[in-house]
Amino acid sequence: MQRWRFVFSGHCDPYTNMAVDEAILITHGQRKTLPTLRLYGWLPPAFSLGYFQRAEEVLDLDRCKKEGILFVRRITGGEAIFHQHELTYSLSCFKEEIGAFGSVKEGFERICAFLLTAYKKLGLDPHFAKDIGLPSLGKGALCFASYEEYDIIVKGKKLGGNAQKRKRDLIFQHGSIPLRLEIDAFLSFLRQRPVGLKERICSLEEVLGRKITLAELAQVIKVSFEETFGVELIEQPLTLEEEALAAKLREEKYSTKIWNLR
């Protein structure tokens, strides 16, 4: 049975979260570590922007500064996400380590299968948008406001969002799983507010009809990942090299205006 590393980081600030993810990706790309599944939360709450988005076009930067709302640019594409009451996953691996040999779209279908397994374990009936005939909605500034073929739909609404980056045979994918949504809390920071958002997206607490903790969901995700891919997750901390690299990336990249406002 193939072994993967499991890292549960708890809550981190946005710059640290992105720096740790990239440090793991770089180090695994050099084949120094096991393929890794990382789970984490965000504290304080913050926006992440897709690599190709321009912060000043998406966010009311003056309001963000006044209210102390942080934002960070990702290495993946896609649209903005407000990370608050959620669990985020990230995985770093080579194609052969997860069996994702096809296109990026086929990769989403392969990799996101563990999320379907997890939601079924929670008693839900999840589907990819394409499998229930939902047409893709046009992209906007906010990730949750649109959906594509391999977005996951529960009770007619989109649950979370996922993004992927590839470099040759190396795959990085991360995704947001909202435990609870407070939509009005972040819409005021957007330049343009999407219409009908509450009718198109959902959180786990909404569809479950109960509260769910970060720790409970993390355990379900861990077991579902092992079952879906036939791997064993070994809980291990970051290496000293990864910790040093993450600190460097946080200081010199993810917390800088040059990166976040470019």
- Would you please indicate which residues are annotated as catalytic (active-site) residues? 143
Per DSSP, the residues of 121-179 read HTT---EEGGGGTPPPPPP-SBGGG---TT-EEETTEEE-EEEEEEETTEEEEEEEEEE
Helix residue spans in the chain (DSSP H): 14-29, 55-58, 61-67, 95-98, 104-111, 113-121, 183-187, 204-208, 214-229, 240-249, 257-260
Q: How far apart are CA 237 and CA 221, in angstroms?
A: 18
Q: Which two structure tokens, joined as six digits, stand for 22?
A: 């990239």
C-alpha pair distances (Å), 258 with each of 34, 47, 71, 72, 232: 32, 17, 13, 11, 40
> Which residues face 165 on adjacent strands?
172
Q: How far apart are CA 5 and CA 115, in angstroms?
A: 18
Q: Which two structure tokens, joined as six digits, stand for 130?
A: 């394409």
